[in-house]
Structure 1
Amino acid sequence: MEAELAALAAAAGTTLVTSLATDTWNSMREGMVLLWRRARPDRAEDVDAELEASREELLAVRASGPQAEAETRGEIRAEWQGRVRRLLYAHPELAEDLRTLLAETAPPAPVSAAPPGPAQQATASGEARIYQAGRDLHIDQR
Structure 2
Amino acid sequence: MDPEIAALAGTAGTTLVTLLATETWHRVRNGVVALWQRALPDRAPAIAVELNSARDDLIGAQSLGDRSTEAEIAAEWQGRIRRVLAARPEVASELRALLIELAPNQAVAPSVSQHATASGEARIYQAGRDLQVGEVDGR
Q: Tell me the TM-score normalized by structure 2.
A: 0.72
> Number of matched residues?
106
Indicate conservation of the 8 Å contact 2:16/2:28, yes or no.
yes
- Quote the residue 2:60 is aligned against: 60
5+ residue gaps, structure 2: 107-139
Partner residue of 2:74 out of 49, 70, 77: 77
Equivalent positions of 1:78-117 (< 5 A) are 78-106=75-103, 108=105
- Give the Cα separation in 2 of the matches to 1:80 and 1:62: 17
5+ residue gaps, structure 1: 110-142
1:107–1:74 CA distance, 2 compared to 1 (3 A): farther
- Give the Cα separation in 2 of the matches to 1:94 and 1:44: 14
Residues 57-112 of structure 1: per-residue CA shift (max 9 Å, x gap) = 11122332x2x1x1111001100000000100110100000000000111635xxx
- Give the Cα separation in 2 of the matches to 1:27 and 1:75: 22
Equivalent positions of 1:1-142 (< 5 A) are 2-64=2-64, 66=65, 68=66, 70-106=67-103, 108=105
Q: Tell me the TM-score normalized by structure 1.
A: 0.70
Rg larger in structure: 1
Q: Percent identity?
A: 53
- Give the Cα separation in 2 of the matches to 1:34 and 1:4: 22
Indicate conservation of the 8 Å contact 2:61/2:70, yes or no.
no
